[in-house]
A and B are shown apart, each in its own frame.
Chain A
Amino acid sequence: MHLAYPAVLSALLFCTGLYGVLARRNAILVLMSVELMLNAVNLNLVAFDVWLSKAARDTLHSGQALTLFTIAIAAAEIGIGLAIVLAVYRNRGTSDIDKLRDSAEGHESDGPDSNALAAEETGKAEAAA
C-alpha cells in the first residue's frame, strides 16, 4: 500500500478536528473534535509503525505501543473533560464556551464562581493540549 493514503487521510481528519475545535460552541462538541484529532494521530502512528516494522528499522513496535497509550490517555481525557463540563453546567447552567467568559469578571465572587472559573480554565487548557 502506498504510504500516502493513510498519511493524507490522517492529515485530512486532523484538519477536520481542527475546524471543529475552532468553530464549535458547545463544549461537548469541542471534545468530540479533539477525539477526531487524536484519532488522526493514531492512524499516522499505526501506518508508520507498519511501514517501519516491515522495513526492519524498528523492532520495538513503538508506533503501536504509543497508539495504545494515546487511546488510554484519550479515554482519561474524555472522562475528566466531561466531568469538568458537567461541573460547569451545574454551576452555570450552560455548556456554551462563548458564554463562559463572563465568569472571569467575578460579580458575586463566592465559591461556585471561582470553582467554575478554574474548571473553565482547565477545560480550555485541556482542549488546547
Chain B
Amino acid sequence: MTLIAATATAAHATAAQATAAHTAATTAAGGTHGFLSPTGVEIAFLLVGLATFGAALVTVSTRQLVHAALWLVVALGGLAIEYLLLTAEFIAWVQVLIYVGSVVVLLLFGLMLTRAPIGRSPDADSGNRWAALTVAVAAAAALVWVVVDAFRTTWIDLGGPAAGSTAVTGASLFQNWVLPFEALSVLLLAALVGAIVLSRKAKAEMSSPPVNSRAATGSSPSVPDSRNHPIEGNSPAEQEGAR
C-alpha cells in the first residue's frame, strides 16, 4: 500500500517536473493534468476532430466529385472550429473566409467547367490506390507514433488572454513580419496575372481548333480588357523569375 503510494507520488513528481520544464507558464495547473483524463476543451476538440477526419476521409474516397468538394467544406469548417478551440480566432475567421468562401467555390467552378459527371464516376480512383493506401497508412502510423511519443508530457495552456486574437496577430504581423507580408502581396499579384495569362493564352489559341462553346461564351466579355495585360504581365513574371 505504501509502496504503491510512494510510486504514485514519484510518478506524479516526475510528471509535474516534466510539465514545469516544458511549460513554465502552467506551474499552478501542472499537477492537475492527467494523460487520459480529458478536460472539456479536449473532449470538444476530439469530437470536432473526429468529424473533421471523417469528412476528410469521405473527401478523398467518395466517387461523386461534387460530393467530395462539399465534404471538403465540412473538413475545412471543422478545422476552423479547432482553431477557435485553440484560441486562434483570427486564423479561424480567415480560414472560413478564404477556404470555405473562396477556395471551395473555385474548386466547384473547376469541377463544373471540366464537365465533371454528376453522380458516380467509377474511374475517380486510379489503379494504384492500394499502393497509395499502404503508403498513407504507414506514414500515418509512423507520424502518430513519433508525435505521441514526443509530446506525451506537453500541455497547452489555454487560459489567460487569447493567443491568437486579432489585436495580437495584427501587432505581431505588422511589427515583425512586414517584409514577408509585402513580398506575399507581390506573390499574390504575380499569381493573379499568371492565372489571367494562362487562361488568355488558351483562349487565343482556341480560335483555330473546334471551339468549346461554353468556354467561348464565358470568355467573350473579358476579351477587350485583356489587351492591356501583357504589358503589366511581364514585370511580375520577371520579378518572380528573378527571385
Given contacts A2-B156, A3-B154, A75-B98, 5 further A-B contacts (CB under 8 A): A19-B135, A36-B72, A50-B88, A54-B157, A98-B126
Instruction: Give CA–CA (A49, B172) in the complex, Å.
Output: 12
**A13 surroundings in chain B (CB, below 8 A):** 52-53, 56, 75, 79
Determine chain A's interface SS by DSSP, over half rule: helix
Instruction: Give CA–CA (A35, B56) in the complex, Å.
Output: 11
Asked whether A112 lies within 8 Å of B205 as measured between CB atoms, the reply is: yes
**A17 surroundings in chain B (CB, below 8 A):** 56, 60
**B173 surroundings in chain A (CB, below 8 A):** 61, 65, 68
Q: A43-B79, A83-B195 are in contact. Are A5 and B126 (CB under 8 A)?
A: no
Question: A73: CB under 8 A from chain B?
Answer: yes
How many chain B residues touch A (Cβ–Cβ < 8 Å)? Answer: 102
Q: How big is chain A's contact interface, by range?
A: 35 or more
Asked whether A35 lies within 8 Å of B103 as measured between CB atoms, the reply is: yes
Question: B15: CB under 8 A from chain A?
Answer: no
Name B's A-contacting residues (CB within 8 A). Answer: 22-26, 33, 35, 38-39, 41-42, 45-46, 49, 52-53, 56-57, 59-60, 65, 68-69, 72, 75-76, 79, 82-83, 85-88, 90-91, 94-95, 98-99, 102-103, 106-107, 109-111, 113-114, 116, 121, 123-129, 131-133, 135-137, 139-140, 143-144, 147-148, 151-152, 154-158, 160, 163-164, 168-169, 172-173, 176-177, 180, 184, 187-188, 191-192, 194-195, 198-199, 201-202, 205-206, 209, 212, 215
Pick from B91, B205, B212: contact of A67, CB under 8 Å: B91
Asked whether B49 lies within 8 Å of A80 as measured between CB atoms, the reply is: no
Q: Shortest Cβ distance from A88 into chain B, in angstroms? A: 9
Q: Shortest Cβ distance from A50 into chain B, in angstroms? A: 5
Instruction: Give CA–CA (A64, B174) in the complex, Å.
Output: 13
Pick from B128, B147, B177: contact of A7, CB under 8 Å: B147
